[in-house]
Chain A
Amino acid sequence: MKGRKINKGIADKAFSFVNTVVMLVLALIMFYPLWYVLVASLSNAMELVKYRGILVYPLDFTLDAYKMAFQNPLLLRSYGNTLFVVIVGVIINLLMTSFGAYFLSRKGIMFQKPIMIMIVITMFFSGGMIPFYFSVRDLGLDGSLWSLILPSAISTFNLIIMKTAFMAVPLSLEESARLDGANDPTVLFCVILPLTKATFAVIGLYYAVSHWNAWFHAMLFLDERTKYPLQLLLREILIQNNVSDMADTGNYTELGFISETIKYAIIIIATAPILCIYPFIQKYFTAGVMIGAVKE
């Protein structure tokens, strides 16, 4: 695209200009809802309720909403639960996915094809929500955070991405390692992993984001509120409008006002980690989509 500077007409320039402006306006529209939430969370609740119009900067800047939000003991607790699920979950995800991908990418294994078929079928057909629920419950996982980790230990889509990446590793490297007496785990972790670090990173990030954002399984399997992950607590506050134990100002109307800004503050608290790492990982996510687009 860089070499396209020959002979630009006026119409061309006008198009470029209009296009750029339209795109920037679009970006602004895409971004504004998030900006609004940030600004509203930093505003004075009473001012915010009275305000009519486009909000650009905080009204009467205050951190009250954040202070109130952190008073809720469940918030930190659920943050901890989510962190546990993300960390332990991603480790298990990567181990299981790489084991599967290793098996499926090796040459000359007899039962590879039937196992591959068995795995791919699950992408297109499932027993459904209710039998899945009973299967997890039968294993006695309900009520524990493991119900959020084990049933989603492998995403078939990610498994296939990883398998494709493993297949690109030259066979000669594996063979020479084997001559040196390496066994299968050594080949996986000392030969293949260093060469497919980027894939591991992308898939690990995919898994981490999906654990961070998941709520539905938690709703199915967890009853005790002390076990709630962040997203389930958020659902209570944002969707079911349950702010009663968020703040004890005693005054109902005041609570009604401040509860709005507390909601915004909680959205920011829950989304901040993703927003903070987002700029650094953006290029990896894009690369991940590209790997996924490559047909096996």
Chain B
Amino acid sequence: MKTIQRIKYNNSSWLGRCRKDLSRNKGAYIMVIPVILFYFLFHYKPMYGALIAFKDYSPRLGFAGSAWVGLKNFNDFFSSPDFARLLRNTIVISGTNLIFAFPAPIILALFLNEMSSLKLKRMVQTASYLPHFISLVVVCGMIKTFVGADGIIGILVGYFRGKTVNLLTEQDLFLPIYVISDIWQGVGWESIIYLAALSAVDVEQYEAAEIDGAGRMARMLHITIPSIQMTVITMLILRVGRLMNLGYEKIILLYNPAIYETSDVISSYVYRMGFETQNWGYSTAVGLFNSVINLVLLLAANLFSRKTTGNSIW
């Protein structure tokens, strides 16, 4: 094996092999050119552009004309009064979402799996997948109208509390509104992957357990749950890796200055500092900080997974 390889290497130089490869796969290389161009223009150029995090950037002076300021933008962020609030909100909203929105689809899948009528099961599935396809703008518009002072939920909550107000102006209520609507929109769709894992369980196992006298709950505990364990762990790791990567779109659509204290997160702050106050270098620095944390979290979660379960996401 080794000798054959050596002979090949001796016969043609690296450049020679390149030329041969290029001529043999010319068509494929031509086809990949626009793809590479795309990644270069819209992914790698912004990565290079992120260097303005180390500059006092002004679009008028351009990238080359703006002065380097070292870590000033980062220091400004870490010492600003916003830092603690943003970090806290990001972790609290993301963490609460992890605690409630992560198990919800698993539970839904487990109980859907126990439904004996296929027709009814399909009906429930259809209803639960539907919200996933509704645009975020519409979902947030619905939330805003429903929890407003004369919206259906606003009235309902006001009935118990004796006063009706727009619930989105109350600091304490942003978190439950965010998490509950997230569960509503995502629970059905996310249950698909668990349902698939469940459908792979061997029916004979259930029958054997039934003959041995195992009840419904016992079967769920000892057969069903262990069989989806791996899927659950993989999904959990992916989720933990995205902990700091809280989407800004929903936050930007829902929050307002009255509740910034509990709803402003790092990514929405990046947006505001950039596009509203034109503090480009600073907001890029904050965004870069968030990207790096995300990367570290993901690598750590993956390493942990590989060490403990032998599962790696790549």
Contacts and interface: CB of A to CB of B under 8 A. Distances in A.
B116 interface: yes
A184 interface: yes
Contacts of A252: none
A96 B34 contact: yes
A292 to B, nearest CB: 9
A132 B46 contact: yes
A213 B136 CA distance: 7
B125 to A, nearest CB: 8
A79 B298 CA distance: 39
B259 interface: no
Nearest to A122: B43
B126 interface: yes
B215 A12 contact: yes
Nearest to A139: B41
Greatest chain B CB density within 10 A among A24, A34, A36, A110 is at: A110
- Looking at chain B's contact residues, the main secondary structure is helix
A102 interface: yes
B261 interface: no
Contact of A124 (B38, B42, B207, B295): B295
Given A20-B120, A23-B124, A215-B137, A30 B131 contact: yes
Given A33-B184, A213-B136, A27 B123 contact: yes
B135 A271 contact: yes
Interface stretch (B82-90, B94-102, B169-177, B267-275): B267-275
Interface in B202-234: 203, 206-207, 210-211, 215-216
- Looking at chain A's contact residues, the main secondary structure is helix
Given A136-B42, A220-B275, A238-B141, A22 B111 contact: yes
Contacts of A31: 127, 130
Interface stretch (A59-67, A83-91, A279-287): A279-287
Interface stretch (A113-121, A192-200, A242-250): A113-121
A6 B207 contact: yes
B32 A127 contact: no
B21 to A, nearest CB: 4
A231 B137 CA distance: 7
Nearest to A279: B126
B45 interface: yes
Contact of A26 (B28, B34, B124, B146): B124
Contacts of A22: 111
B65 interface: no
A282 B124 CA distance: 13
B138 A234 contact: yes
Interface string B27-46: 11111101110110111111
Contact of A130 (B31, B44, B52): B52
A56 interface: no
Interface in A123-139: 124-136, 139
Interface in A183-212: 183-185, 188, 209, 212
B308 interface: no
Interface residues of A, number: 94
Contact of B126 (A131, A232, A282): A282
B157 interface: no
B5 interface: no
A128 B50 contact: yes
A132 B48 CA distance: 10
A127 B124 contact: no
Contacts of B165: none
Contact of B114 (A19, A99, A289): A19
A99 B133 contact: no
A15 B47 contact: no
B305 interface: no
Nearest to B30: A184
A142 interface: no
A127 B50 contact: yes
26 contacts: A12-B215, A23-B112, A23-B120, A23-B124, A33-B146, A99-B35, A102-B28, A102-B31, A103-B31, A109-B29, A124-B294, A125-B291, A127-B288, A130-B284, A131-B48, A135-B41, A184-B26, A213-B133, A220-B275, A231-B137, A235-B253, A239-B141, A267-B141, A271-B134, A285-B129, A293-B196
Given A23-B112, A106-B28, A238-B137, 19 more contacts: A19-B111, A20-B120, A23-B111, A23-B121, A28-B127, A30-B184, A34-B131, A49-B150, A52-B155, A103-B31, A111-B21, A132-B46, A135-B42, A150-B42, A212-B135, A215-B136, A215-B249, A220-B275, A263-B141
Q: What are the 6 closest A-B residue pairs judged by CB atoms, nearest first?
A: A184-B27, A238-B141, A131-B49, A127-B46, A128-B287, A213-B135
